[in-house]
């Protein structure tokens, strides 16, 4: 990545336009808090069903499920729901985005579904996820966990459980890194300033 | 995926093939849902332009398109203006003027999909042209092998039958070789084109040698509609020398699978009792065809209305 010319003096990034907004400790602390909030605000906890949006949502949902189990003793199912086939921006040109895994181990009918995503912005992914979810059944309710809410909403979508609000520029990219598939591995959320280039 | 059209496996590289197979795996999950439909190609139109008879390929493309929410139109030559001597190209251009997002073409003459693709704005997907290529059949065959064996490297795939007239053999030869498997071709000498080994396969006129240690046995249909000359003394003789039965399979590996692109001539190229049960996976191939064609449509349908450049 070429050093960005637009990086101003404030909070100057150490490595060519990468700024850490949540480190591993902060992420895990936020997830513990969210798990408590989910337990507190879900009336019928046995109906809880965490549905992760890949790739970033998957490790987050697993960590939250483990926390909920630690708090309440309940085993919470974790599903994975790819939203790519429900996107509204499949462009005419170029190669189509790769599809990711969908694995829904339990039926969603009458469940209190909580979607889990790493970074929420325009709300279009959440919209796609809700449409996908409805094809699997009729949940009793749907709520959303977003580790980071970076704003720039384009649809009337609300995040019920937020890890951290991070004001951003539209052209910046915010990504969760450290997805090794290993829950113990360190995670971090970073801002890649201006044109982050090929990630 | 560099090209706009899918005319053959020859023009794809290993990465393209792996990408389509991986996409097909995801599409297979859609086919297992209660609601087997996703909105991906909503509002898009696909035209099945089949100038040659087909049951499974046309139906498979139609189901695949509908599972992606596309509108699928089937063109039937017998009730069309082709009976008024409209040329194939004029027919294709007429349909193109209705702005389809993909045209799926089958024709008994090799090269027709390419000619049509050159004339149309819409992407063209080859569903079989003469003895040239049948790319989606090869893709679904590769997909089936991947599901059964989990890999391609180090596998031996033996293709048996009328290699000369077989577009399935040609596409599979390209596909399996690109993916890292060894391909053997076995046939009576009259059905084995000279120089075929230059494409990376080994040619055999002894079935037993070709079967030795094979992981996959792919049996081709004896296409009586394409055999205008004399290629073997009699169907019965072909059945006894090159027809596959359980006894001959003993030369292959213990966990061999038997494939056939269909439609099958029972008792000719494949024994009656072999076609319906393990190690035969013929119906799995048909089942997988839908997921693979969904993957192909996902990659190609509606990809740029105009030719680029």
Tell me the pLDDT tens digit for each residue of A46-61: 999 999 999 999 999 9
Question: What residues 29-68 of chain A have any CB closer than 8 A to a CB of chain B?
Answer: none
- Does residue B127 sit in the same domain as residue B47? yes
Residue B195 lies in a domain: yes
> Would you state the pLDDT for residue A37?
97
Residue B39 lies in a domain: yes
Q: Which domain holds residue B261?
A: 135-282
Burial zone of B65 (CB within 10 Å; 0-12 exposed, 13-18 middle, 19+ buried): buried
- DSSP H or E segment with residue A51: strand A48-52
Q: What is the CATH number of the domain that holds A59?
A: 3.40.50.2020
- Sheet bearing B124-129, strands edge to edge: B71-75, B45-50, B102-107, B124-129
The yes-or-no verdict on residue A199 having pLDDT over 60 is no
Q: What is the CATH number of the domain that holds B22?
A: 3.40.50.1370
Residue B6 lies in a domain: no
Q: Which residues on B lie below 8 Å from A89 (Cβ)?
A: none
Q: What is the mean pLDDT of residues B81-109?
A: 87
A42: its two tokens: 């879900």
Q: Which residue carries 């995040």 as its tokens?
A: A159
Residue A58 lies in a domain: yes
> Would you state the pLDDT for residue B296?
98
- Does residue B261 sit in the same domain as residue B161? yes
Tell me the pLDDT tens digit for each residue of B247-265: 999 999 999 999 999 999 9
> Would you state the pLDDT for residue A11?
46
Higher pLDDT, A164 or A5: A164
Residue A4 lies in a domain: no
Identify the band that residue B294 occupies on the pLDDT scale cut at 50, 70 and 90: very high
CB contact under 8 A, B35 and A93: no
- Does residue B126 sit in the same domain as residue B160? no
Identify the band that residue B308 occupies on the pLDDT scale cut at 50, 70 and 90: very low
- Number of separate helices (H) and strands (E) present in chain B: 11, 9
Tell me the pLDDT tens digit for each residue of A11-49: 444 455 889 999 999 999 999 999 999 999 998 999 999
Q: How far is B29 from chain A (nearest CA, A)?
A: 7
Higher pLDDT, B6 or B303: B6
Query: Which pairs with CB-CB distance under 8 Å and at least 24 residues apart come from B70-74?
Result: B70/B41, B70/B42, B70/B44, B70/B45, B70/B46, B70/B101, B70/B297, B70/B301, B71/B44, B71/B45, B71/B46, B72/B45, B72/B46, B72/B47, B72/B48, B73/B45, B73/B46, B73/B47, B73/B48, B73/B100, B74/B48, B74/B50
Residue in chain A lying closest to B38 (CA): A85
Tell me the pLDDT tens digit for each residue of B175-194: 999 999 999 999 999 999 98
DSSP string for residues in A88-148: S---SSSPPPPP---B--S--TT-EEEEEEEEESSSHHHHHHHHHHHHH---SEEEEEEEE
Residue A195 lies in a domain: no
- Sheet bearing A188-192, strands edge to edge: A18-22, A188-192, A173-177
Q: What is the number of domains present in chain B?
A: 2
Q: Which residues on B lie below 8 Å from A93 (Cβ)?
A: 303-304, 308
B183: its two tokens: 């391909």
- Does residue B141 sit in the same domain as residue B277? yes
Residue B295 lies in a domain: yes
Of B26, B34, B308, the CB nearest to A99: B26
As a whole number of angstroms, the distance between CA A198 and CA A89 comes to 20
Average confidence score pLDDT of chain B: 92
- Does residue B278 sit in the same domain as residue B139? yes
> Would you state the pLDDT for residue A9?
39
The yes-or-no verdict on residue B231 having pLDDT over 90 is no
Question: What residues 118-147 of chain A have any CB closer than 8 A to a CB of chain B?
Answer: 131-132, 135-137
Q: How far apart are the first and last CA of chain B?
A: 16
Identify the band that residue B83 occupies on the pLDDT scale cut at 50, 70 and 90: low
Q: What is the mean pLDDT of residues A118-128?
A: 96
The yes-or-no verdict on residue A189 having pLDDT over 80 is yes
The yes-or-no verdict on residue A8 having pLDDT over 60 is no
Above pLDDT 90, what percent of chain A?
76
Q: Which domain holds residue A125?
A: 24-87+102-167
Burial zone of A39 (CB within 10 Å; 0-12 exposed, 13-18 middle, 19+ buried): middle
CB contact under 8 A, B37 and A136: no
The residue of A84, A89, A135 whose CB has the most chain B CBs within 10 angstroms, and thus the best one to mutate to test that interface, is A135
Residue A142 lies in a domain: yes
The yes-or-no verdict on residue B84 having pLDDT over 70 is no
Does B18 contact A at CB distance below 8 Å?
Answer: no
Average confidence score pLDDT of chain A: 88
> Would you state the pLDDT for residue A195?
53
Residue A52 lies in a domain: yes
Q: Is B21 helix (H, G, I), strand (E, B) or coil?
A: helix
Q: What is the mean pLDDT of residues A144-163?
A: 97
Identify the band that residue A1 occupies on the pLDDT scale cut at 50, 70 and 90: very low
> Would you state the pLDDT for residue A6?
39
Higher pLDDT, A184 or B110: B110
- Does residue B127 sit in the same domain as residue B79? yes
- Does residue B262 sit in the same domain as residue B162? yes
Residue A172 lies in a domain: no
CB contact under 8 A, B302 and A92: yes
Residue A110 lies in a domain: yes
- Does residue B241 sit in the same domain as residue B266? yes
Q: What is the mean pLDDT of residues B20-26?
A: 97
Q: What is the mean pLDDT of residues A58-78?
A: 96
Above pLDDT 70, what percent of chain A?
84
Residue B305 lies in a domain: no
> Would you state the pLDDT for residue A29?
97
Identify the band that residue B138 occupies on the pLDDT scale cut at 50, 70 and 90: very high
pTM of the model: 0.91
Q: What is the number of domains present in chain A?
A: 1
> Would you state the pLDDT for residue A7?
37
Cβ–Cβ under 8 Å, residues A119 and A56: yes
Residue A197 lies in a domain: no
Higher pLDDT, B308 or B233: B233
Residue B9 lies in a domain: no
Burial zone of A118 (CB within 10 Å; 0-12 exposed, 13-18 middle, 19+ buried): buried
């Amino acid at each position: 990545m070429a050093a960005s010319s637009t990086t101003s003096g404030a909070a100057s990034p150490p490595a060519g336009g990468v700024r850490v907004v949540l480190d591993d400790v902060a992420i895990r602390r936020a997830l513990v808090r969210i798990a408590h909030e989910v337990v507190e605000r879900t009336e019928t906890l046995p109906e809880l069903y965490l549905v992760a949006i890949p790739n970033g949502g998957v490790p987050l949902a697993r960590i939250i499920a483990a926390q909920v189990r630690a708090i309440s003793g309940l085993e919470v199912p974790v599903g994975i729901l790819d939203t790519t086939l429900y996107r509204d921006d499949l462009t005419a040109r170029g190669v189509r985005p790769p599809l990711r895994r969908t694995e829904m181990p339990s039926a969603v009918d009458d469940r209190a579904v909580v979607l889990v995503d790493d970074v929420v912005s325009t709300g279009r992914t959440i919209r796609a996820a809700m449409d996908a979810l409805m094809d699997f059944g009729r949940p009793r309710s749907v709520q959303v966990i977003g580790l980071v809410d970076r704003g720039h909403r384009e649809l009337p979508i609300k995040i019920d459980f937020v890890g951290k609000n991070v004001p951003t520029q539209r052209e910046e990219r915010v990504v969760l890194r450290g997805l090794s598939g290993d829950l113990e591995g360190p995670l971090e959320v970073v801002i890649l300033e201006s044109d982050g280039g090929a990630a | 995926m560099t090209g706009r059209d899918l005319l053959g496996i020859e023009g794809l590289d290993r990465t393209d093939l792996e990408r389509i197979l991986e996409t097909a795996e995801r599409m297979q999950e859609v086919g297992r849902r209660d609601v087997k439909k996703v909105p991906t190609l909503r509002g898009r139109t696909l035209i099945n332009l089949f100038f040659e008879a087909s049951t499974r390929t046309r139906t498979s493309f139609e189901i695949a398109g509908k599972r992606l929410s596309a509108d699928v139109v089937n063109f039937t030559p017998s009730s069309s203006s082709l009976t008024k001597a409209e040329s194939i190209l004029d027919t294709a251009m007429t349909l193109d003027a209705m702005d389809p997002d993909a045209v799926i073409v089958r024709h008994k003459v090799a090269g027709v999909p390419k000619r049509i693709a050159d004339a149309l704005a819409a992407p063209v997907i080859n569903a079989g042209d003469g003895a040239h290529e049948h790319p989606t059949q090869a893709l679904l065959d590769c997909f089936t092998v991947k599901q059964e064996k989990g890999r391609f490297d180090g596998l031996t795939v033996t293709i048996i039958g009328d290699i000369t007239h077989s577009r399935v053999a040609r596409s599979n030869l390209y596909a399996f070789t690109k993916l890292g498997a060894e391909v053997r071709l076995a046939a009576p000498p009259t059905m084995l084109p000279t120089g075929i080994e230059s494409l990376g396969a080994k040619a055999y006129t002894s079935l037993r040698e070709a079967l030795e240690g094979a992981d996959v046995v792919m049996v081709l249909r004896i296409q009586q509609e394409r055999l205008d000359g004399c290629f073997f003394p009699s169907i019965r003789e072909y059945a006894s020398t090159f027809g596959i039965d359980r006894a001959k399979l003993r030369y292959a590996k213990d966990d061999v699978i038997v494939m056939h692109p269909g439609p099958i001539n029972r008792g000719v190229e494949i024994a009656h009792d072999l076609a319906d049960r393990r190690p035969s996976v013929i119906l799995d191939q048909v089942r997988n065809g839908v997921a693979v064609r969904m993957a192909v449509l996902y990659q190609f349908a509606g990809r740029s209305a105009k030719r680029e450049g």
